[in-house]
């Protein structure tokens, strides 16, 4: 199965990492709320009045404020209540975030069946993040039976709407041949779309495929560029592989000092292979020292 599959939520600013779960990290993306309530999201009193009057957008934004701790303390129980009221009015982002709370048991009971149901409802409304989440749950058989065909359909729906995480997960499914025949060319296409949107794991995999000529034509220079993009985001595997490129002169001019730098970056994150190679590089340098 593909590793580090990710469920996505809807957040205020598109940058805040939310929390970890069994299948990976839940990432807050750009909020889709519009209207006056969206511009005053930090003022909970204003949101409260609009939410209690039945405004679904205000209910969603108030749930989000409680969920993320904007304008006051984090209160997952209240977040779940307000998401629920907005979801009952058909707000797809609220359905998605309510599904996330049900998924990991924040603010109430852990209920994967309910999570999958909320993702199904939001996906039926055309919400890409929900389609991605539903596909991940279907792939792993969470909250219901495992259904790889349905998972891939939902992931493709999200991916074709430009959802980078769905594109990356599809790349991994095709790369590893998980529930599907292995297809490195398809993997490269999906990774390419996700990599262009800055997904570090996709950049790493695409870089390796370019270096090997696996599913794409050999292009060492492009491989190095993708590895560098991922390494600069702190991806340890990309830093390790980029170091090897510099150590061997693959796609770049050989430079052991630069190789050492990227091995150090990977080793600092606890990557055992990088620690071993860094030690070997140090020993090689010691052996090359002149006898005094």
CATH topology of domain 7-161: 1.25.40
- H helix and E strand count, the chain: 15, 3
Q: How far apart are CA 67 and CA 239, in angstroms?
A: 34
Which of 189, 202, 209 is closest to 230 using CA atoms? 202
Q: How far apart are CA 88 and CA 285, in angstroms?
A: 66
What is the three-class DSSP state of 75? coil
pLDDT tens digits in sequence order for the chain, 292 residues long: 554 455 666 654 433 333 322 233 333 323 344 333 344 455 888 899 999 999 999 999 999 999 999 989 999 999 999 999 999 999 999 999 999 999 999 999 999 999 999 999 999 999 999 999 999 999 999 999 999 999 999 999 999 999 999 999 999 999 999 988 999 999 999 999 999 999 999 999 999 999 999 999 999 999 999 999 999 999 999 999 999 999 999 999 999 999 999 999 999 999 999 999 999 988 877 665 565 5
pLDDT reported for residue 156: 98
The torsion angle over the Cα atoms of residues 108, 110, 113 and 115, rounded to 10 degrees, is: 70
């Amino acid at each position: 199965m593909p590793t580090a599959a990710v469920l996505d939520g809807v957040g205020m600013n598109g940058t805040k990492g939310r929390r970890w779960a069994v299948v990976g990290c839940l990432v807050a993306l750009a909020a889709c709320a519009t209207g006056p309530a969206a511009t005053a999201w930090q003022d909970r009193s204003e949101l409260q009045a609009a939410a209690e009057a039945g405004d679904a957008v205000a209910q969603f934004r108030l749930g989000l404020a409680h969920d993320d701790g904007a304008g006051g303390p984090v209160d997952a129980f209240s977040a779940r209540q307000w998401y629920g009221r907005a979801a009952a009015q058909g707000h797809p982002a609220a359905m998605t975030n309510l599904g996330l709370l049900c998924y990991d048991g924040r603010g109430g009971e852990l209920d994967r069946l309910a999570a999958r149901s909320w993702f199904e409802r939001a996906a039926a409304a055309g919400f890409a993040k929900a389609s991605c989440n539903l596909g991940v749950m279907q792939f792993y058989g969470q909250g219901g039976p495992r259904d790889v065909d349905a998972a891939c359909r939902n992931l493709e729906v999200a991916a074709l709407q430009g959802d980078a995480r769905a594109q990356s997960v599809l790349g991994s499914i095709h790369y590893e041949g998980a529930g599907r025949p292995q297809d490195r060319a398809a993997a490269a296409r999906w990774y390419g779309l996700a990599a262009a949107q800055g997904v570090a794991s996709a950049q790493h995999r695409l870089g390796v495929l370019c270096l090997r000529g696996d599913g794409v034509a050999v292009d060492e220079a492009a491989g190095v560029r993708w590895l560098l993009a991922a390494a600069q985001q702190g991806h340890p595997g990309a830093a390790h592989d980029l170091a090897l490129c510099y150590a061997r002169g693959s796609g770049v001019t050989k430079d052991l000092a630069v190789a050492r730098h990227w091995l150090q970056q990977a080793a600092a994150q606890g990557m055992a292979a990088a620690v071993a190679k860094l030690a070997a590089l140090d020993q090689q340098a010691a052996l090359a020292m002149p006898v005094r």
